[in-house]
Amino acid sequence: MNSTQESRQGTAVVIGGSMAGLLAARVLSDFYREVLVVEKDDLPNGPELRPGTPQAFHPHRLTPRGLELLERYFPGFNEELLGHGAPSSLNGFNHMSNEHGILVLGPDPDNNASCTRALLEWVIRRRAQAVPGIRFLTKQEVTGLLSSPDGASVTGVLIRERGSEGQRRTLAADLVVETGGRASRLTAWLSELGYEVPAPDRLHLNLGYSTRRYRVPEGMERTWNVIHTSGRASEGTATGVFGPIENGLAESVLYSAGGVYPTTEAESYAQEAGALTSPVLAEAIRDLEPLGPPRAFRVPELVRRRYGHMTSWPAGLLVLGDAFCHFDPIFGQGITVASMEAELLEECLREEREQPRAGFELRALGRMQELIEPAWWLNCTAALRWKGVEYAGAAPLEGVEFAQRYFDQYHRHAMQTQSMELYGLFWAVNTLFAPPGELVRPELVEAVLAGAPETDRTWFDALAQQHGVRPAELPAALLPAFFRSAAAEAPRA
């Protein structure tokens, strides 16, 4: 027995075997002798859709940070995706456009796979299934938590075989990790144990996705790796994204928020694609063979739980992934945040094993809450530009109006100067690869504002005067603290 095996003790139970659950299980397998992944679905033996992850028909992209962490926990997964027919990004070009202009990025130096969510999850799941100590209990639904008589510790879960009426079983665990996704019942379970759970922060977003898949005719040359046409949110013009996936297929999605949903009618899909701010997506799908009609997905609201702000919390329980906070899918942050939370879980477990201290779980949740904060704020700030989107949180979001106007000018500047670096930096921050402070370095703010139209400059000058600062100092005066603390770090990208 080696030293790692010796240090593994006890049993951890993970609720849910989707992306966050698989990542959590992989991390826990370094610390627990046995990791039981309890999943209510009958998990397919191939890259197929399943009921527990209804979002899986829709495009799922990984960000650089998510890729880096998935590769760390499941080495070689990208190569495996390519081996299953996922197209590589290598030497391809990306067509990025918004209301201010067009940027063509490439040739791509990376060999990243682009594929369906079903293929991604299947490859990662097979990797997790091969890890010693991880076991999957499928078609088993967790219906509640087991606890010590005083409710101070969670000691396991109550499970029921799906499809069978009565028959409940208990599973004892030293640690339970909830990764049951957006429909998580954790808040109710905690309330049953007597915990006072604060109301979550909510963004009433009413977003609509309409996704269509296509067969690419044999011999047709690939034009783009990715087409991303950002909508004009304030006027309700949709966003569109297009890209190739495995087995000679491609997918496109139309997205809008605020309750005005993109069409799911086969007849009008191409027409709506043609009304985006750039015609390139409509041109890309024109000669492809549609595989069935478009499919809709709607998200009424984004929810950020405030578990990390609770004053008491049971020992032996943690939560991560969408069950903690879920994001606007158009930014592709969900799996990345889940990977970062898994990395943080690893760090917290290591510290705890080296130096056990009471309150480990609540400290870990507090750190996850901090990790989530920038992604949540960036999501809300962008989404609030759509008419009809409303925020209801414990505290108002800081600096939203300034940020919206500044980021608008930032994009104008990036397009006017054809700066791939600035455009890429915005994506890098949005996908949690670079610190937010990089977007508001004083010299950059000065350059962005110098190129802004007169009316906008007047608005920024008046705001600066109101706060008794220079315009370049507005970010420090108005934006949340993570813009300041992160600014000191070296950029990752």
**Contacting range for ligand FAD; rule: CB under 6 A; set: 28-36, 229-237, 333-341, 359-367:** 333-341
Q: Which of 11, 12, 29, 61 binds ligand FAD (CB under 6 A)?
A: 61
18 is an interface residue for ligand FAD by CB under 6 A: yes
Q: Which of 113, 281, 288, 335 binds ligand FAD (CB under 6 A)?
A: 335
Question: x/- site string to ligand FAD, residues 62 to 101, per CB under 6 A?
Answer: ----x-----------------------------------
Nearer to ligand FAD, 108 or 473 (CB): 108
Residue 324 Cβ, how far from ligand FAD at the closest point, in Å? Answer: 8
Residue 67 Cβ, how far from ligand FAD at the closest point, in Å? Answer: 10
Residue 474 Cβ, how far from ligand FAD at the closest point, in Å? Answer: 31
- Rounded to the nearest 10°, the torsion over CA 135, 9, 342, 125 is -10
Residue 57 Cβ, how far from ligand FAD at the closest point, in Å? Answer: 8
Q: Which of 133, 180, 231, 294 binds ligand FAD (CB under 6 A)?
A: 180
Q: Which of 181, 231, 243, 262 binds ligand FAD (CB under 6 A)?
A: 181
187 is an interface residue for ligand FAD by CB under 6 A: no
The count of residues interacting with ligand FAD (CB under 6 A) is 38
Polymer length in residues for the chain = 493
Q: Which of 21, 64, 243, 471 binds ligand FAD (CB under 6 A)?
A: 21
Residue 163 Cβ, how far from ligand FAD at the closest point, in Å? Answer: 13
**Contacting range for ligand FAD; rule: CB under 6 A; set: 56-64, 78-86, 302-310, 442-450:** 56-64
Q: Which of 73, 77, 297, 406 binds ligand FAD (CB under 6 A)?
A: 297
What residues line the site for ligand FAD (CB under 6 A)? 15-21, 38-41, 52-53, 55, 58-61, 66, 141-142, 179-182, 209, 297, 299, 321-323, 329, 332-336, 338
